[in-house]
């Protein structure tokens, strides 16, 4: 079986994650590609190369939007929320901006969703500070 050619969107996605999380594709590949071949490459191409790399919003704003969406979706998104909190910090957001984006979602997702989001943020901050 011949490998598919690399698309422009995949290259854009790889360039974008280089600053956010340079190991993301290999982490995803190790975890999911045996179950679903090419999952990692597909996610990098579609989510990052076709969505996050679009013009119109800067990366920090896109990441804050992602945190808001994951917060509203609730506690089942905790692992993805934590990864995206790390990505949002790497994109230049301050911790206070992340916390405020999560807290704003109490209006739309309810207090339990916002509290779960704040707990996820605190876990990430503690890990980065060496406290967890």
Going by C-alpha positions, the residue among 96, 74, 76 that lies closest to residue 85 is 96
Report helix, strand and coil shares of the chain as percent, to nearest 5: 75, 0, 25
Distance CA 119, CA 3 (A): 42
- Per-residue pLDDT of 54-65, as tens digits, reads 999 999 999 999
Spans of all domains in the chain: 8-54, 58-132
Q: For 16-34, how does the pLDDT look when each residue is reduced to its tens digit (9 = 90+)?
A: 999 899 999 999 999 999 9
CATH number for region 58-132: 1.20.1290.10
pTM above 0.95, yes or no: no
**Tokens found for residue 25:** 């594709």
């Amino acid at each position: 079986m011949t490998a598919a050619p690399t698309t422009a969107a995949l290259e854009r996605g790889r360039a974008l994650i280089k600053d956010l999380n340079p190991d993301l594709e290999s982490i995803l590949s190790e975890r999911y590609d045996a179950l679903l071949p090419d999952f990692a490459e597909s996610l990098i191409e579609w989510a990052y190369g076709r969505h996050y790399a679009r013009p119109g919003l800067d990366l920090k704003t896109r990441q804050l939007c992602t945190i808001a969406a994951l917060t509203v979706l609730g506690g089942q998104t905790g692992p993805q929320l934590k990864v995206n909190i790390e990505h949002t910090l790497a994109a230049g957001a301050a911790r206070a901006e992340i916390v405020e984006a999560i807290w704003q979602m109490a209006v739309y997702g309810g207090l339990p969703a916002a509290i779960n989001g704040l707990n996820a943020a605190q876990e990430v901050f503690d890990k980065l500070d060496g406290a967890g």
